[in-house]
Amino acid sequence: MNDKSTTDAFINTVGIDYINANGNKFFNEIYNIEKGNIQATPRSLFELKVYAFVQHCQNFNFAKADSCEYDLKFLVRNFNITESRIARKYITNGEYSEIVKIVRSVKF
């Protein structure tokens, strides 16, 4: 969503958490790519999972990071997406090197 009334990156309602494009430059890029689509593309899902993996690692939430890693491997294996074009701009080289390791670990 793109709620112009707030710059909060996340908007929480009962049972649903929304990502606010107005609150984060990375989310804004994804929003602008996907605007008008009914479903997110595999490319955008990959970018979101890259970003989420890094965030979860930074927050020491390794169970969620493991879940993102699983999803990243699925996207690599099934859609042959092997690099980030967007999330890479918002994470450090060291963080991205962890994504590269995940991608390279995928067995076909």
3 state SS of 4: coil
Give pTM, 2 decimals.
0.86
Average pLDDT over residues 86-106: 97
Identify the DSSP state of 85: S
Identify the DSSP state of 10: E
pLDDT digits (tens, 9 = 90+) for 11-53: 777 778 777 777 788 988 998 898 888 788 999 999 999 999 9
Yes or no: say if 2 and 21 are a contact pair by the CB < 8 Å rule. yes
Residues whose CB falls within 8 Å of the CB of residue 28, separated by 6 or more in sequence, listed in order: 2, 21, 22
Give the pLDDT score at 56. 93
pLDDT digits (tens, 9 = 90+) for 48-89: 999 999 999 999 999 999 999 999 999 999 999 999 999 999
Give the pLDDT score at 22. 78
Yes or no: say if 52 and 64 are a contact pair by the CB < 8 Å rule. yes
